Structure 1
Amino acid sequence: MPVLPGAEPYRHEGGEVGVLLCHGFTGSPQSLRPWADHLAERGLTLSLPLLPGHGTRWQDMQLTGWQDWYAEVDRELRALLERCGQVFVLGLSMGGALALRLAAKHGDAISGLVLVNPANRVHGLSAHALPVIRHVVPTTKGLTGDIAREGAVEVGYDRVPLHAAYSLRNFFRLVDGELPQVTQPLLLLHSPQDHVVPPADSARILSRVSSTDVEEILLEQSYHVATLDHDAERIFDESHRFIGRLAPSAAQKGSTSGG
């Protein structure tokens, strides 16, 4: 099945500091590509995978679940750890939950986390009905495109496959239980006006992780997909500053060859 234009995975071979970027549920690498490009230009080694079932058509996603999505980012992380001296994990929405589980499982192998509007649970009345309704109704309306900036477009699905949504609900419950195992330095940026993931999710994550080096930044001008919104440059700059503080070699210009 052809990948949607712009949804392709991306890699960049840079220096000794690696970054894994995790995109969101029904989204694609396109939502994080400007962020990846920003960091690649500053010499970091980048991996931005396309999660299984994403970036093609929603019917393909019906056949996947959280185990598939997590396995993909886990493989990419392991490859970066072999290549780089320090590795950071960045995530948007569900990608934030994937990053948190990687942190809980890999411990000190991960040097820090940057989360943008991280998701902690499936919201809405339908969430409680998912175990049953997914066998009757295949999809519901999409989640992509919650962006304040006029003209900005997110590449992703306009429908949410309910089998996948049910798996996502189970994944969020699993990750929530593992949050106390997260000890890495954490930069969390979230939008007060988010029509997909409410601020309560960020608050819960901050209250349950065991990290002591924690920064929280509000993205006042953006909606959910803040990496494509008015606050995008701030996200890019703050994340590079955060990485540079914890990995001083990241501030040194590395290779700029494409990937």
Structure 2
Amino acid sequence: MTPLTLLTPSQPKPHQPLFVYLPGMDGSGYLLRSQLPHLAPHFDIRCLQLPPDDLRDWHSLAQETLDLLAPLRQGRPLYLFGESFGGCLALMMASQQPDCCDRLILSNPASALQRRPLLLWGSHLVQWMPDVLNAISALGLLPFLAALDRIPPENRHALLDAMRHVSSKAITWRIGLLRDFRIPPEDLARIHPPTLILASTLDHLLPSLNEAQDLIRILPNAKIHHLPHSGHACLLERDTNLLNILKQEDFLSKQLTTNHLI
């Protein structure tokens, strides 16, 4: 089986806190691009990349990602950031190993898929679509994935390219994982690291705000950061600055604040 990969999108900083990005359905690890100029001076950043033909179940995917991160941590604070599909993976990792990170950040986690019965039903059809139709349908999905008027043209192209490069086999696998995604409430309640959930009010793909409100009732140390004008792919929007959000929410470790980040 093809191994999971950790990309290093900026100069390694072994003495800085570790920031790990878990990607959405595209699995590319490249869509943190807009946030890198702000985050890179202050974090040692890694981005998980998923093989397009991956058939791991949730448990294996979480455990192998944890194994990849273990030698990198070396006593440093670890910020685990999961976007959409990656938000589910982050929750799975933290439920399996509650001390896996010092800060947990979720952006419009795709656990909200359970609230869209029509999407769940339609997801069964994806396996019958050839890749060429998937590429065309990606263009039609773009307005649901993103608030296009808030995303610069270069980021729209990056999002579309990432979606088009996911094969129907990979989409079928990932949607199947989301369809089966379940973490018992008692396991979620064991996730004690401070947790910040970014919730886009104008997410037309998933009811992310409702999902965030439910999650903070279970997660013992969680809060919501509302993005009232954002869509699902909020990281690519010109007005979204993740570093500033972390500052606003007092979500930075003492090591970062000591280094005069704020």
Q: For the superposition of Structure 1 and Structure 2, which TM-score range results when normalised by the shorter chain?
A: 0.7 to 0.9
TM-aligned CA deviation for residue 251 of structure 1 = 2.9
Distance in 1 of aligned mates of 2:245 and 2:107: 11
Secondary structure of 2:174 counterpart: helix
* Equivalence for 2:50: 51
Distance in 2 of aligned mates of 1:52 and 1:250: 33
Note the 1:74-113 alignment, pairs <5 A: 74-81=66-73, 83-113=74-104
Q: Normalization by structure 1: what TM-score?
A: 0.74
* Structure 1 unaligned blocks of 5 or more: 1-7, 54-59, 255-259
* Equivalence for 2:190: 181
Asked if 1:19 corresponds to 2:27, the answer is no
Distance in 2 of aligned mates of 1:10 and 1:80: 12
* Structure 2 unaligned blocks of 5 or more: 1-5
TM-aligned CA deviation for residue 29 of structure 1 = 1.9
TM-aligned CA deviation for residue 187 of structure 1 = 1.3
Q: Give 1:168's match in structure 2, choosing from 165, 172, 178.
A: 178
Distance in 2 of aligned mates of 1:177 and 1:28: 32
Distance in 2 of aligned mates of 1:71 and 1:168: 17
* Equivalence for 1:216: 224
Distance in 2 of aligned mates of 1:201 and 1:138: 32
- Is this contact kept in 1: 2:82–2:105, CA < 8 A? yes
Count, aligned residues: 233
* Equivalence for 1:9: 7
* RMSD after superposition: 3.2
Seq. identity, % = 22
Asked if 1:203 corresponds to 2:213, the answer is yes
1:64–1:157 CA distance, 2 compared to 1 (3 A)? farther
- Is this contact kept in 2: 1:120–1:176, CA < 8 A? no
Distance in 2 of aligned mates of 1:187 and 1:99: 12
- Is this contact kept in 2: 1:16–1:45, CA < 8 A? yes
Structure with the higher fraction of residues in helix conformation: 2
Indicate the structure whose relative CO is greater, using CA pairs within 8 Å and at least 6 residues apart: 1
